[in-house]
Amino acid sequence: MKKLIAAISAITLTAACFASCGSEKKDSSPEKATEATTVEADTEAETTKAETTEAEEEADDENYETGDASLDNVRNQDGIGENELLVVSFGTSFNDSRRLTIGAIEDALEKAFPEYSVRRGFTANIIINHVNNRDGILIDDLDASLKRAVDNGVKNLVVQPTHLMNGLEYDELTGKIAEYSDAFDKVVIGEPLLTSDDDFARVEKAVTDWTSEYDDGETAICFMGHGTEADSNAVYQKMQDLLTKDGFANYYVGTVEASPSVEDVLAKVKEGNYKRVILEPLMVVAGDHANNDMAGDEEDSWKSVFEAEGYEVKCLLRGLGENEEIRKLYIEHAQNAIDSLN
């Protein structure tokens, strides 16, 4: 397996996804889909089973408007050269959010590393197929993106995931790349967003600075992550503990698919004397979870749950990929990966 080596010895392999949401929706109506975490996000989703189910829901409903797909650079061009930086995401069919989050991360990496051709790979084929069927735009899946690199004679392959943490999807990603590693001289995989303690501290600063205008003592600021049954779900509690330790007593972190749940978050909020609640996804993209599970009108959405308790609720529909400080962190992880090649 030639030199998947350089990567694994130098960089901890980790993963998961973040995403996000807002009260003035950038994508009009909720889409029956999920893309976590991304990221993520980012992106999109952590467990394969949950991601597949959510993506299937996305493909089932076309009664929504997600923006102009033609504005998004799918980055599946040939003529790559010897050095490629492959940005791997779960993906989303919300066109505007995809461009403003995943696309923005890719643009930032391209600017930071002009000696590398930046290309895109999505891991959710059902989302790829949905975008292709609906908009006539084909995004490479992971196999297609790796085959493209091989066919173009890439020698040095750097893979930077937009995942949030170490999890099942990231493990699958590293396994797939290992299958192709003999085709390249060198292969290295960058770390996900939340890997080191410094990563947690910087993400904390990014999201608290981003929401500081709402931090008035009467508002609870609640972040919605995806959640997973895997051990990596502990990142959400770690982020909560860090926020509490650093004096952000009115900041709360919960998940859609695991714990802490919206009921757990609501119970904590009710312990304070808050009049208002800000909801924002802790994911790379603002897709189905942001638009539907968080900001939707269904009675079990986070917005509806808090409104039923008498709170004034505002949803921020924006993905973490829209935050410049978050993009800088992805750049640093890619830089560490590139440095390890030498």
Tokens coding 250: 């009115």
- Collapsed DSSP state (helix, strand, coil) of residue 225: strand
- Give me the catalytic one of 130, 226, 289, 333: 226
> Which residues are 106's β-sheet partners?
none
- Collapsed DSSP state (helix, strand, coil) of residue 161: strand
Q: Which residues of 77-98 are buried (b: 16+ CB within 10 A; e: fewer)?
A: eeebeebbbbbbbbbbbbbbbb
Give the count of beta carbons closer than 10 Å to the beta carbon of residue 340: 19
Nearest to 170 by CA among 326, 8, 320, 335: 8
| CA–CA gap between residue 6 and residue 195 (Å, rounded) | 18
Going by their DSSP bridges, the two strands 276-281 and 219-225 should be labelled as parallel
One-letter amino acid of 98: R
Task: Tell me whether residue 226 is one of the annotated catalytic residues.
Answer: yes
Tokens coding 197: 């303690």
| CA–CA gap between residue 14 and residue 5 (Å, rounded) | 16
List, by residue number, the catalytic residues. Answer: 226
